[in-house]
Amino acid sequence: MKGTLAVVAVFIAGCIAGWSGVIDLSSLGETGKDLPMYILYLLIFLVGVSMGCNPDLKRIFRSANPRLLLLPLAVIAGTLAFSALACLVLPKWSVTGCLAVGSGMGYYSLSSVLISQYMEPSLGVRLAAELGTIALLTNIFREMFTLLAAPLLNRFFGPFAVIASAGVTAIDVCLPVILRNSGNNILPAALISGIVTDFSVPFLVPFFCSLG
Amino acid sequence: MICLILAMAAGIVLGFLARKDRRLSHVGKAISVTIYAMLFFLGVKIGADRDLLSNLSTLGLQALVLAVAGVTGSVLAAFVLYRLMFRKDSGVQ
């Protein structure tokens, strides 16, 4: 929750800076306009480093029931299928735009900045920033809903439901409520689902953005 | 696009080669800092656009639709998976 507040605070601070004109990216010339792009390169590089050096990955996949890998696949497939359906009531956005937001899987900070950058060539600066903001809010709502509705999800939809709803946050923010509601023996399922969905975000979001 | 794939590939290779290096335990913090920097700039873009700023509640409504869709889809898929493959197990382990 503290992390969420920090993310929202930084985002609002940016809004205020842009609104008041304290920071004007276009007045900084070419370097200023490309600055977010350079930071994106750094971010993607660092995400790669964290994947390459992750020691838990091999251990988790070796120790656990391999059928548990079906859980993150179901979470991703279910999220994407219904995000595509949501596009029917959101005429402003293309199917791929909705899929890009959905494939954030609850990783609001990364998905929003990826979308606002990757969508720029096809949607333009303004619409890309708009969709990035939608991704930020969508994935924050997903985390909040999971934290609030965990007992109901577990009772009506079984022990995998809270993990599914949590998406990426099954390994961090939502892990305590998952264990509290679905029991401690759900831990391997939560870790596998959280890690696999986490790794899918930097691949799926740019993929759907590149489809336009 | 190709540059970004290369940046990620370079990161994965470097991270794997240097996986014993203690300093890599800080990489999560470095990711957070870069994400914060980008979020700040996303905020700047939105703040500079008065029309967009006044439409923030519309964006919230659209986000709500997508959040409900994502949660519903993933929960239903996980529910079906559990009923089909895991319910007979005494433990999920």
Distance CA A5, CA B57 (A): 19
Inter-chain residue contact B45 with A137, CB threshold 8 Å: no
Is the per-residue pLDDT at B83 higher than 70?
A: yes
**Residue A75 sits at the chain B interface (C-beta within 8 Å):** yes
Percent of chain A with pLDDT over 90: 53
Residue A92 three-state SS: coil
Higher pLDDT, B42 or A111: A111
Distance CA A203, CA A201 (A): 5
Residue B4 and residue A134: Cβ atoms within 8 Å? no
Q: Are A146 and A75 in contact (CB under 8 A)?
A: no
pLDDT of B91 higher than 60 = no
Domain ranges of chain A: 34-210
pLDDT at A38: 84
Residues of B in contact with A21 (CB under 8 A): 48
Q: For residue B34, which amino acid is it?
A: T
In angstroms, the CA B58 to CA A182 distance is 35
d(CA A18, CA B43): 7
Determine how many CB atoms are found less than 10 A away from the CB of residue A151: 13
Query: For residue A43, is pLDDT > 90?
Result: no
| Interface contacts A/B by beta carbons within 8 Å | 295
Each residue's pLDDT tens digit, B17-76:
988 888 888 888 898 898 888 889 888 888 887 877 888 889 999 999 999 999 999 999
* B67/A142 touch (CB, cutoff 8 Å), yes or no: yes
Record the tokens describing residue B55, joined without a space: 């439409």
Buried b (16+ CB within 10 A) or exposed e, A21-32: eebebeeeeeee
| Residue A117, helix vs strand vs coil | helix
Question: Which position has the higher pLDDT, A157 or B91?
Answer: A157
Rounded to the nearest integer, the mean pLDDT of chain A is: 88
B55 → chain A, closest CA residue: A130
B43 touches chain A (CB under 8 A): yes
Q: Is the pLDDT assigned to residue B80 strictly greater than 90?
A: yes
Contact A136 B42 (CB under 8 A): yes
Burial of B55 (0-12, 13-18, 19+ CB in 10 A): middle
| Cross-chain Cβ contact A23/B3 below 8 Å | no
C-alpha to C-alpha distance for B55 and A130, rounded to whole angstroms: 10
Distance from CA of B89 to the nearest CA of A (A): 12
Q: Does B58 touch chain A (CB under 8 A)?
A: no
pLDDT given for residue B93 in this prediction: 44
ipTM of the complex: 0.86
The answer to whether A101 contacts chain B (CB < 8 Å) is yes
First vs last Cα of chain B: how many Å apart? Answer: 40
Q: Give the span between the Cα atoms of A119 and A113, in whole angstroms.
A: 10
- Could you give the CA distance from residue A189 to residue A194 in angstroms, rounded to a whole number? 8
